[in-house]
Amino acid sequence: NAGVTQTPKFQVLKTGQSMTLQCAQDMNHEYMSWYRQDPGMGLRLIHYSVGAGITDQGEVPNGYNVSRSTTEDFPLRLLSAAPSQTSVYFCASSYRGGGADGYTFGSGTRLTVV
Amino acid sequence: KQEVTQIPAALSVPEGENLVLNCSFTDSAIYNLQWFRQDPGKGLTSLLLIQSSQREQTSGRLNASLDKSSGRSTLYIAASQPGDSATYLCAVIDDKIIFGKGTRLHILP
């Protein structure tokens, strides 16, 4: 089925380890974004991209890197995991400005840093 | 900087009542506005998308309105049911999507 696929669904990391959260969409959407969701804080934008080769920082970018080499993929890299990065991460995509259908979200990655 | 505010933060109502959830935003230069539902421990489900040229959208018992000039949107739920219990999120879209913190809705059987 068409949509946004996030892997892995669950991950436990030790402090200082690095990892990449994968996000792929097959809808040819220009826009892709990463969010983290924490209790009481809502969904906060980490990084976003308006097309291949173009990325920009959101509200909470520190500790995370992104790249957008293809339209389909938008991986999120944690450089050196910290307990403060324990969260649920969501990836989303859309046509420009939301298009006619708005944003589509992946099912999330639940990350625990110990 | 765009800011999205949802009021109330939490709401409990008896089954069968009609209710309104409110959303306000500070920058009216948006493309679209989208309402989502999130059940505990789950992902986001899109409910309604209102494009900037529209004033409202309807889906079943849900109706969402948009007033760009005043920076407001409302989500109206008719004849509420226990299955409507969830967190409802309002989000505005320009070149990214910015969320409010949501309204936690509890429908009492």
Q: What is the three-state SS of chain A?
A: CCCEEEECCEEEECCCCCEEEEEEECCCCCEEEEEEEECCCEEEEEEEEEECCEEEECCCCCCEEECCCCCCECCEEECCCCHHHCEEEEEEEECHHHCCCCCEECCCEEEEEC
pLDDT above 70 for A34 = yes
B32–A107 CB contact, under 8 Å: no
B34, B96, B102 member nearest A45 (Cβ): B96
A40, A103, A108 member nearest B97 (Cβ): A103
Can you tell me the distance from the alpha carbon of A13 to that of A78, in angstroms, rounded to the nearest whole number? 10
Residues in B closer than 8 angstroms to A94, CB to CB, are 93, 97
Per-10-residue mean pLDDT, chain B, length 109 = 94 96 94 94 94 93 96 97 97 90 96
A102–B44 CB contact, under 8 Å: no
Residues in B closer than 8 angstroms to A102, CB to CB, are 32, 34, 46, 49, 93
Going by C-alpha positions, the residue among B13, B32, B40, B9 that lies closest to residue B22 is B9
Characterize A44-63 residue by residue with b for buried, 16 or more Cβ atoms within 10 angstroms of its Cβ, and e for exposed.
bbbbbbbebeebeebebbee
pLDDT (0 to 100) of residue B30: 87
Residues in B closer than 8 angstroms to A107, CB to CB, are 43
- Other beta carbons less than 10 A from residue B41's beta carbon: 8
| pLDDT band (50, 70, 90) for residue A101 | confident
Q: Assign B82 to helix, strand or coil.
A: helix
pLDDT above 70 for A1 = no
B34, B96, B102 member nearest A48 (Cβ): B96
Residues in B closer than 8 angstroms to A43, CB to CB, are 89, 99
Please compute the mean of the pLDDT values over residues A59-81 and round it to a whole number.
97
A58–B95 CB contact, under 8 Å: no
- Other beta carbons less than 10 A from residue B26's beta carbon: 12
Partner residues linked to B51 by β-bridges:
B32
B34, B100, B102 member nearest A98 (Cβ): B34
| pLDDT, mean over chain A | 95
Please compute the mean of the pLDDT values over residues A58-81 and round it to a whole number.
96
Q: What percentage of residues in chain A have a pLDDT greater than 70?
A: 99
Can you tell me the distance from the alpha carbon of A12 to that of A10, in angstroms, rounded to the nearest whole number? 7
A107–B51 CB contact, under 8 Å: no
